[in-house]
Amino acid sequence: MSDREHREQSGEESSPRPTARAEQETLQASILIVDDHPANLIALEGIIEPLGQRIVKASSGEEALKRLLSEEFAVILMDVQMPGLDGTQTARIIKERERTRHIPIIFLTAISRDQANIFRGYSAGAVDYLLKPFDPDILRTKVQVFIDLWGRGKRLERREAVIRQKERELLERASEIRFQNVTDSMPLCVLAGRPDGEVYWCNHVWKDYTGLSLEQTAKGGWLDAVHPDDRSALIAARTELIEGGRELVVEHRLRRANDGAFRWFLMRAVPENDARGNPAGFIGTMTDVDDQKRDREHLAEFKATLDATLDCVLMIQGADLGVCYANHGAVTQLGYTRDELDALTIGALQPEVTEERFREMVAPLQSSAEGSLTYQTSYRRKDGDEFPVEVLLQYVAFGSRGGRFISVARDIRERVRAEQALRRANEAKDAFIAAASHELRTPLAAAKAQAQLALRRLKDDPEAPPAKSLRTITGQIDRMAKLVEDLLDVSRVQIGRLSLEIARYELSALVREAAERVQALSERHTIELVLPDTVEVDGDRSRVDQVITNLLSNAIRYSPRGGRVVLTVEPEANHVHLFVRDFGIGIPPEKQGLIFERFGRAHGAKYGGLGLGLTIAQGIVEQHGGEIWVESAGVPGEGSTFHVRLPKSALVRAKQA
């Protein structure tokens, strides 16, 4: 701010400025005449009056000194002999004073004719010495000389003052322009106010943003641009600034003129003093902090959200694997403070995964080959306790600044406990089924042997009632033995112990045999075969027989109204494709995943069956290196098609014991 502005706003009067016009004016000099005799004063006045200057009379040295304090004189005419301070003494004092030492003094005396007195007068500061009675013309001429000298000096002084003033004005203008340019080039609003708070200056940034002119701003319009909710806080702060002289820092919203949107600004205002240190108002700047503030708010929300999640969320530096962020969940679950966690590396938290192993694991993430990685490990708490976690890890690259891993770990203690309990229960159940089936085989075999023996003894009368009962018993024993075998097979499939005896056999013949066997069970169904004459394959004939028999039996069982069942065999280059099509009740699509599982059934109990056949079939087919699947629209009458694809040379899976 320029000095001139300071002066204007603080209400100071600037000194009258000499102008060119003033220079033209005739200068009127003041002449001080000092004599203790009023008559002499009158006489002197009469002599110099024609010079047309202002004449000031003093009747003593003291009075002369007093006059000199308040007025400026071009020349002093002084009587030497005076009571009190005489002329010489008075002259000395005049010469001692800075302000008056340059004023020429002409001594007037009647008596000091001798050299000594004259000398004393000169040494006291007189420039001339006139002895009474003096010639008025000479006196006037001498006085005129001094007046001219004074006038010339004065004019010179004034001219200099004019030049100085012009220079000062130019400087002020230049600094004003610079100030304006500087404040306009800054990306912030700048306002300047008077001590009473009225704004008297604002930069273009303010005007453009708020759409307010200086006049509108000054008249209090600035408050209209402030968000209504922020006005009272801003007014209070302004009072603090103006009355308390305290710096003001307030965040508030300001309306943007072009779209009416309110954006957040940080206002800083400082009291300003003028060159003499007096309060001169204030300068305020307003910086647009809207983006930063919103970013801060989003960050705070984001952190609060992360803190609210129960999982351990950690961010890990890609370079040194140091923890650089930990959420509240991590703090609670790991028992460290945030600062302590910040000083750790991920290796310290997961003892089972060395840093080397971790780097290997995360390499596909860093090369973007994988989007995320899920693994299970244990986390070690500060107190040494460990707990199982499932970790989901992702990598975020930051270009040249490296990257970070974001790890979300969930405490899976409960899940692990439940899984272990389930596994134990399953193992116990499997063991029980295997043992029970095994134990059932012997009494069943013994019962069947006894029944057959009894039948043989009754061979003379096969139609006798006991023979009929015995055949029923044998039939039921066969069914039960089949169930027990199935249970044992399922147990074997389950533990991968289904052994195959691989040999070359002819598949078409096997299919015919199986079809004949199954056809014998139902007269309402017709099994049609679409077969090549011969297809040689390597595999376990009796196990493949088991698969075909199961598929055909199912086709009949789930076609309760009878009808066609078509079995097709299509040899391929290295495989043979076999499929069984029926026109029965079909399988709803959502249940098709279930039927290959142990005890998995798609229909109710009225169809019988334990849901083991397809599990065993799948086990056998897969053990041969083949595959099995089903197609069905789930529409009754449209039936299902079961496909089996076997390699011609059975690849016995490594799983085989």
Query: Would you tell me which residues interact with ligand ADP (CB under 6 A)?
Result: 550, 554-555, 558, 582, 584-585, 587, 595, 600-603, 609-615, 640
| Residue with smaller CB distance to ligand ADP, 119 or 607 | 607
Give the type of residue at 327.
Answer: N
| Residue with smaller CB distance to ligand ADP, 459 or 606 | 606
Least distance (Å) between residue 571 CB and ligand ADP = 24
Q: Please choose, from the candidates 161, 151, 159, the residue with its C-alpha nearest in 3D space to the C-alpha of residue 72.
A: 151
Q: Please choose, from the candidates 465, 443, 438, the residue with its C-alpha nearest in 3D space to the C-alpha of residue 454.
A: 465
Least distance (Å) between residue 520 CB and ligand ADP = 19
Least distance (Å) between residue 380 CB and ligand ADP = 47
For residue 52, what are the β-bridge partners?
Answer: none
Least distance (Å) between residue 474 CB and ligand ADP = 22
| Residue with smaller CB distance to ligand ADP, 112 or 553 | 553
| Residue with smaller CB distance to ligand ADP, 128 or 582 | 582
| Residue with smaller CB distance to ligand ADP, 382 or 482 | 482
| Residue with smaller CB distance to ligand ADP, 434 or 612 | 612
| Residue with smaller CB distance to ligand ADP, 199 or 614 | 614
| Residue with smaller CB distance to ligand ADP, 341 or 617 | 617
Q: CA separation (Å) from 343 to 331, 525, 534?
A: 13, 77, 74
Least distance (Å) between residue 311 CB and ligand ADP = 40
Helices (H) and strands (E) in the chain, counts: 21, 22
Least distance (Å) between residue 656 CB and ligand ADP = 22
| 470, two tokens | 């015995």
Residue 617, H or E segment: helix 613-623
| Residue with smaller CB distance to ligand ADP, 347 or 588 | 588
| Residue with smaller CB distance to ligand ADP, 448 or 603 | 603
Least distance (Å) between residue 559 CB and ligand ADP = 7
Least distance (Å) between residue 434 CB and ligand ADP = 19
Least distance (Å) between residue 555 CB and ligand ADP = 5
Least distance (Å) between residue 600 CB and ligand ADP = 6
- Residues ≥6 apart with Cβ < 8 Å to 413: 387, 388
Least distance (Å) between residue 443 CB and ligand ADP = 23
| Residue with smaller CB distance to ligand ADP, 238 or 525 | 525
Burial of 141 from C-beta contacts in 10 A (0-12 / 13-18 / 19+): exposed
Give the type of residue at 572.
Answer: E
Residue with tokens 């408050």: 223
Q: Please choose, from the candidates 240, 209, 242, the residue with its C-alpha nearest in 3D space to the C-alpha of residue 226.
A: 209
Distance between CA atoms of 143 and 108, rounded to whole angstroms? 12
DSSP state at residue 457: H
Sequential DSSP letters for 346-399 = HHHH-TTS-HHHHHHHHHHHHTTS-SEEEEEEEEE-TTS-EEEEEEEEEEEE-G
Cα maximum dimension of the chain = 199
| Residue with smaller CB distance to ligand ADP, 59 or 641 | 641
Residue 343 — left, alpha, or beta (φ > 0 → left; ψ -120 to 50 → alpha)? alpha
Q: Please choose, from the candidates 330, 395, 315, the residue with its C-alpha nearest in 3D space to the C-alpha of residue 363.
A: 395
| Residue with smaller CB distance to ligand ADP, 313 or 551 | 551
DSSP state at residue 49: G
Least distance (Å) between residue 348 CB and ligand ADP = 52
Give the type of residue at 195.
Answer: P
Q: Residue 174: what are its φ and ψ, rounded to 5°?
A: -60, -45
Taking CB positions, which residue lies at the least distance from ligand ADP? 609
Residue 568, H or E segment: strand 563-571
Distance between CA atoms of 538 and 553, rounded to whole angstroms? 24
Give the type of residue at 652.
Answer: V
Output Rg (C-alpha) for the chain, integer angstroms: 60
Least distance (Å) between residue 347 CB and ligand ADP = 49
Q: CA separation (Å) from 110 to 36, 92, 639?
A: 13, 20, 158
